[in-house]
Amino acid sequence: MADDLKKGLEGVLVAESDLSSIDGDAGQLIYRGYTIEDLARGASYEEVLYLLWHGHLPNADELASFTDALTEERTVSDDVLSTMERLADAEERPMAALRTAVSMFSATEPESDADPEDLDATLRQGRRITAKIPTALAAFERYRLGDEPVDPRPDLGLAANFLYMLTGEEPDDIAAETFDQALILHADHGLNASTFTSMVIGSTMADIYSAVTGGVSALSGPLHGGANQDVMEVLIEIDESDLDHREWIEQATEEGRRIPGFGHRVYNVKDPRAKILAERSEELAENGESRWYNYTTTIEQYLTEEKGLVEKGIAPNVDFYSGSVYYQLGIPIDMYTPIFAMSRAGGWIAHVLEYQEDNRLIRPRARYTGPDTREFVPIDDR
């Protein structure tokens, strides 16, 4: 058995997957053979979910049936709603509220007694989780504002319906399409920390509710999710500063401040998802407030072209533009990571199902660095 230590399991192959592939040097992301650009610009989030879960893009009839099944599962129980209200009143963090909600969903699971090896049942359970997360999240935010939850609308897609439940108003086409794209871009991304966490839990044949709850918990850590929130907080700081945004970024870099949204564990060039969201941010700016887009483009140009970060393998990642895009859509800043989870849940479920098809309990080992064998002394003699 090899004794090479790989902190963080970096570069260690632990599974084979058909789901997504990342080329960090070329800046390419594909889901089951389709480039992220083609999917984001030509498919819906529901189509991408179908692709991840079933292995191929649906035809019109398959998509209609799949969408209907998702729509039927959107309602959450009164117990979940009352818990979201209590957590909102207690000023709980949105990611913690989501973790609680996902765990509670299992209480009304109609197939709770299904065989853990029945992957069709697991997929149906995963579909229910995916459908209910937007409803629970929107309800939590409404309660925080002192408003009543908005019931889901069956005539709206998942992305548009979430924005509707969040605000009580049907989003325009640009907002709905932009948010739908954002969900597609975040649906899967290899064996990141939260996906691997879900797989580890799934490898024990625990139920999919446990696996997704674990994924939410892993994503809540600031080293995984949350960078888009950090980006937006920086942009607001720029906006409230007395300095021009160009002057602000120059001063910040001179002071050695790290600007969030740059650099990625995998990509050495600009994240392909960032390119797509930059386009959407520009489109939103043309139809509304342009300053956030102007700030991000100025920062990107300054750091990449004048400071030469790209030559050092540091470029904008998806979080650099998703923060301002969400802000332009009117989404509260501390809801950004829960939205990430809302999208990525589809990927977590897909990876668990894929791994369980040829399951082996994930059980790494650690190198022992403690003391050698010591003589035990009874407590009266210590």
Where is average pLDDT lowest: 52-56, 214-218, 264-268?
A: 264-268
Strands 28-31 and 34-35, how do they pair? antiparallel
Q: End-to-end distance of the chain based on CA atoms, in angstroms?
A: 39
pLDDT tens digits for 183-202?
Answer: 999 999 999 999 999 999 99
Between CA 360 and CA 203 the distance in angstroms is 6
Which residue out of 264, 334, 358, 381 is catalytically annotated? 264
350: which 2 tokens?
A: 């897909």
Report the sign of the C-alpha dihedral through residues 68, 73, 78, 80, in that order: negative
Q: Which CATH superfamily is domain 227-329 in?
A: Cytochrome P450-Terp, domain 2 (1.10.230.10)
pLDDT band at 156 (very low <50, low <70, confident <90, very high): very high
Rounded to two decimals, the pTM is 0.94
Give mean pLDDT, residues 246-264: 88
Region 125-146: mean pLDDT is 98
SS3 assignment, position 316: strand
Beta bridge partners of 31: 20, 34
Looking at the domain 20-223+334-357, which fold is it? Citrate Synthase; domain 1 (1.10.580)
pLDDT at position 1: 53
Q: Is 4 a catalytic residue?
A: no
> Which of the following is catalytic: 319, 334, 351, 358?
319
* Cβ–Cβ under 8 Å, residues 320 and 302: no
Q: What residue type is assigned to position 156 of the chain?
A: L
Q: Where are the domains of the chain?
A: 20-223+334-357, 227-329
* Per-residue confidence (pLDDT) for residue 309, from 0 to 100: 81
Separation CA 12–CA 22 (nearest Å): 15
User: What was the pLDDT predicted at 288?
Assistant: 79
8 Å CB contact between 350 and 200: no
pLDDT value, residue 287: 82
Strands (E), the chain: 20-23, 28-31, 34-35
For 63, counting Cβ atoms within 10 Å of its Cβ (0-12 exposed, 13-18 middle, 19+ buried), the class is middle
**What's the average model confidence in pLDDT over 127-131?**
98
Q: Which residue has the higher pLDDT, 223 or 294?
A: 294
Q: Give mean pLDDT, residues 298-325.
A: 86
SS3 305: helix
Q: How many angstroms separate the CA atoms of 176 and 378, rounded?
A: 68
Q: Matching CATH topology for 20-223+334-357 and 227-329?
A: no
DSSP 310: G
Is-catalytic flag, 264?
yes
